[in-house]
Amino acid sequence: MANRRLIDARGSFCPGPLMELIAAVKMAEIGEEIEVLSSDKGSANDIPEWIRKVKHEHIGTEEKEGVWHILVKKTH
Amino acid sequence: MGNRVSVVVVSGSFERLQMAGMVASISAVSGNDVHVFLSMNALAPFRKGAPSQASPEGEMGKVMAQKKVPPFKQLFESAVELGDAKIYPCSMAMDVLGYARADLEPYLSEHMGLTKFLDEAASGQILTF
């Protein structure tokens, strides 16, 4: 299994979780996976848009007990 | 580079600074070429070490102040650090307020005049807060 970074952005409002993800993507190696935890629904909708726009891979999003787990793979 | 997005910020209200910071940071990290112009009441919050605080205009600002929203100064800094945005303090505002470059946050660029900013902005969209 590839390395995975965990970004716990629970409690932070838009665009906090997105900015935390972007900072992590900058530091990550290509191919690395990053999981973002967000309790903000707006961010859960917006983060996949950003991933698509900048052409990384959105592996998936799961909601568990009011927390969205958004999984991203850095592709470039 | 993506599209040129020029963000003109003149208000010192919390809601406008917050929204301008969101627009600048998200636009910059989405691959756009973002240039911010700070003038009028929007410049003073960017004095070095000034707190990321501003007076709310209405209810939304008051509610947001109680929640964990990213501080607007951090959003502008993220726009520069993560999205290569440029933030220009207005030459006129610096003269009027008596600020030198060293009085302002280090992530700001050198001051610029409105004539040059508007000339460079002409090819893209301009958003004003």
Q: pLDDT tens digits, residue range B109-128?
A: 999 999 999 999 999 999 99
Spatial distance between the Cα atoms of A29 and A8, rounded to a whole number of angstroms = 19
* Candidate list A14, A22, A67, A71, residue with the active-site label: A14
Domains of chain A, with CATH numbers? 4-73 (3.30.110.40)
Q: Which of A7, A22, A40 to mutate to test the interface with B (most CBs of B within 10 A)?
A: A22
Domains of chain B, by residue range, sit at 4-128
Contacts of B14 (CB under 8 A, 6+ apart): B53, B54, B55, B56, B57, B61, B64, B65, B72
- Domain B4-128 belongs to what architecture? 3-Layer(aba) Sandwich (3.40)
| pTM: predicted TM-score of the whole model, two decimal places | 0.94
Task: Report yes or no for ipTM above 0.90.
Answer: no
- State yes or no: is A38 an active-site residue: no
CB nearest to B22's CB, from A15, A23, A50: A15
Residues of A in contact with B82 (CB under 8 A): 19, 22-23, 26
**B67-113 pLDDT per residue, tens:** 989 999 999 999 999 999 999 999 999 999 999 999 999 999 999 99
